[in-house]
Structure 1
Amino acid sequence: MKTISKTVLILSLVSLFTDIASEMLYPILPIYLRSIEYSVIFIGFLEGIAELIAGYSKGYFGNLSDLHGRRVPFVRLGYFLSSISKPLLVMSQLPGIVLFARTLDRMGKGVRTGARDALLSEEATSTTKAQIFGFHRSFDTLGAVLGPSIALVFLVVYPNHYVLLFYLAVVPGLISVGLTFLLKETITKEKKLTNSLTLFSYLSYWKESNPNYRKLVFGLIVFAFWNSSDVFLILKAKEVGLGDSYVIGIYIFYNLVYAIFAYPLGILADKVGFKKMFLFGLFLFVLVYFLMGFAQKLEWVVIAFFLYGIYASATEGISKAWISNLVPKEEVGTAIGFFSGLQSVSLFFASLIAGWIWFLFGAPVTFFVTGVIALLVLIYFFFSKIEEKNLN
């Protein structure tokens, strides 16, 4: 535990409590919106717009944190916005207020993501990057285990009390905001702007970045464009015959596996290399999607969700650690924000495509197509020469 600094531990605890708050509501939000007679079309529109806002703001605010040489104010503001958005969702049933509240939550994620990941990167060396990011992902994902578990128990005791659950989610959210006041940082000198900063200035980073960064992000975004929402995996579990409680249970199971393996696989990635670990994760993803295409029994679905948890452990934190190792220290917020923004936008389109394929051809074709694309991305990474050298 010597490599885990106070800053890394605080950021991990902040993410833990934030995810408890968010994941308490994640499986409940669509149920609540349907209970107040919102259409599926509006719910889909709501999530799509929220994801696009998150995607844009990740890039913009990551760039802004680099330019100002500050991280903590962006981290604090981002978690605060997400925290206050929870009660706003149920204070009014007007579509405009609901849309504003959901957008505020995702904007909060966008404000904090680049700055937070830059802070994590600054606390690591070139040989501990994946370990640091893996440790943080473990805590973050543990929140995705505890949050739905709390919601499940609460709704067993208080059936249909959705509004109260939204207000209760404020508590862990405020705890996370409070923890951010324990963070300290060394303020670096602000960059001198040669041009005026605009809302889309960060998009120029692609041209300014080094070839290794571009090769890595290109592969990651092609993959993201076909890696649809986990909702489709959950829908498949429903199709096999699982009830609502079991569906939430298997979602908790996936996150538990993810939380357990993220840290040790991060340590292993620092030893064997980011590329080898990422290829291992992509291989598991391909296997999972082919399994889900064929799965007709509960046992196969459980195995698929178990492997999916390991896939996430082997790729999510590792990809950010890899990116942070390819760019100068003062560009980490922009580099990760740019990638995270494109990833969010890609997820939006990936889910639209997956929904369209599912509607026209059924679940098996949806999973097979995604699996084949992921296999092609795996081949791309296998033959691509992307350095893992630290430039910080």
Structure 2
Amino acid sequence: MEVRSRLNGLASVPRSVWILGCVSLFMDVSSEIVHSLLPMFMMVGLGASAATIGLIEGIAEATAPIVKVFSGALSDHLGIRKWLAVAGYALGALSKPLFAIAPTIDVVVSARIIDRVGKGIRGAPRDALVADVTPVHLRGAAFGLRQSLDSIGAFLGPLLAVVIMSLWADNFRLAFWLAVIPGLLAVALLAFGIREPSREPGARRMNPVSLDNLRNLGSSYWWVVVIGAGFALARFSEAFLVLRAMGSGVPVALVPLLLVAMNIVYALSAYPFGKLADTMNPVKLLIAGLVVLIASDVVLAHGAHWSVVLLGVALWGLHMGMTQGLLATMVSHTAPAQLRGTAFGFFNLFSGTVTLASSVIAGELWDKLGAAATFHAGAAFSLATIALLLSGKAPHGRP
């Protein structure tokens, strides 16, 4: 009965959400082939330090949210979400060859920023489109499903990276070239597979980022933004998971397997926890997710053997599955329908800006005090975020 109920729940999710999830799957295969190898490529191939890698990753991850503000607002203003998302996915796919030809760190930085600009262009319109096509009582399930499909791509990407590196003698550049293919498939599927809902008759264009409209987002929405920033501070770039795996005795070609394990856990947990958020107070789930993140940080801080690192990375993936779709659901529930693109944009702007700071802090701690200090800091920030959630001011996240 439980399996039948779950299948019925999946069947009730709109077709467009499934397609958007498959688009995310293909693009994540493309991106994760690159991202699972890039920290090692920068350190081993180009001589970058952990602090440099942290700065690059922080800048890259902050770029996308800044762009999301403008793309989300533009999608609200024009009433067009699909083609903005297509443009973002196309830019992401076309950035991959730059990694393959990069002779210096400067070119890697440029490619990383272009890739994240593409993510920024597509992110807020895509998330707003998910909310637009999904009934309110199914949004947790819809965001969880999209996140699960996204995560399937996130573990297939590192798995393919392992295969490529094993068959072609640690050829980073060939792996980056091959990453272009699934990226282009994502663009084609979105362009030809989805019809955007019609704009409501009589709807007028407006400036979504006007002061009045920002006020109209409401205090519940802005509290979700604060919560998201707390999570971003506690969870720095996954590049540091790759660096931790490098020090666990695993051969370079097999390091991406740890990210495969993380994303398998992520994919399996995102939909069930997203559906659970439709029926219970999501704040409790957020706190539980932070407790799991603390456990991951403690394990990664105190164990260097590959089996211990694997456990820590799996706990990290469980935390992601419990919280990422849930935060998106809370944004969709607390923001007015006509301002959803703008709402997702500002949410990601604040989260991305904090991610830049947390990744820089993580890199500096790694170089000066060692890996354990980085993960201890992550646990401390997680405790601070739990205190924020327990303050009693957080909204339930459901209308």
State the TM-score, normalizing by the size of structure 2: 0.88
**How far, CA to CA, are the matches of 2:321 and 2:93 in structure 1?**
26
Aligned AA for 1:380?
L
**3-state SS of 1:317 partner:** helix
* Counterpart contact for 1:23–1:148, Cα < 8 Å: yes
**3-state SS of 1:314 partner:** helix
CA distances 1:128-169 after superposition (whole Å, capped 9, x unpaired): 211111101111111111111112111211124333322222
2:27 — aligned with what?
18
* Counterpart contact for 1:69–1:191, Cα < 8 Å: no
* Counterpart contact for 2:92–2:114, Cα < 8 Å: yes
C-alpha displacement of 1:7: 0.5
2:178 — aligned with what?
168
2:224 — aligned with what?
216
Aligned AA for 1:134?
G
C-alpha displacement of 1:91: 4.4
C-alpha displacement of 1:185: 1.3
**How far, CA to CA, are the matches of 1:162 and 1:237 in structure 2?**
17
Report the more deviating stretch, 117-126 or 227-236. Answer: 227-236
**How far, CA to CA, are the matches of 1:225 and 1:374 in structure 2?**
8
C-alpha displacement of 1:82: 0.6
**3-state SS of 2:80 partner:** coil
C-alpha displacement of 1:336: 1.1
C-alpha displacement of 1:206: 5.2
C-alpha displacement of 1:120: 0.8
2:195 — aligned with what?
184
Matched, 1:69 2:53: no
Matched, 1:338 2:346: yes
Report the more deviating stretch, 97-106 or 323-332. Answer: 97-106
Written as runs of structure 1 = structure 2, the 5 A alignment for 1:48-87 is 48-87=58-97
**How far, CA to CA, are the matches of 2:186 and 2:97 in structure 1?**
16
1:375 — aligned with what?
383
Matched, 1:384 2:384: no
Written as runs of structure 1 = structure 2, the 5 A alignment for 1:328-367 is 328-367=336-375
1:269 — aligned with what?
277
C-alpha displacement of 1:294: 2.5
Report the more deviating stretch, 71-80 or 274-283. Answer: 274-283
Q: 1:251 aligns with which of 259, 276, 279?
A: 259
2:126 — aligned with what?
116
Written as runs of structure 1 = structure 2, the 5 A alignment for 1:9-158 is 9-33=18-42, 37=46, 39-40=48-49, 46-91=56-101, 93=103, 98-158=108-168
C-alpha displacement of 1:306: 2.2
Q: Count matched residues.
A: 386
C-alpha displacement of 1:191: 4.3
C-alpha displacement of 1:236: 3.0
C-alpha displacement of 1:85: 1.1
C-alpha displacement of 1:36: 6.0
**How far, CA to CA, are the matches of 2:330 and 2:175 in structure 1?**
38
5+ residue gaps in structure 1? none
The CA RMSD over aligned residues, in Å, is 2.5
5+ residue gaps in structure 2? 1-9
**3-state SS of 2:361 partner:** helix
**3-state SS of 2:247 partner:** helix
**3-state SS of 1:364 partner:** helix
CA distances 1:235-261 after superposition (whole Å, capped 9, x unpaired): 333334333344321111011111111
- Going from structure 1 to structure 2, the CA distance change for 1:44 and 1:259 (only over 3 Å counts) comes to same
- Going from structure 1 to structure 2, the CA distance change for 1:153 and 1:113 (only over 3 Å counts) comes to same
C-alpha displacement of 1:297: 4.3
**How far, CA to CA, are the matches of 1:382 and 1:213 in structure 2?**
17
C-alpha displacement of 1:177: 0.6
* Counterpart contact for 1:205–1:335, Cα < 8 Å: no
Written as runs of structure 1 = structure 2, the 5 A alignment for 1:2-13 is 2-13=11-22
Aligned residues: percent identity? 31
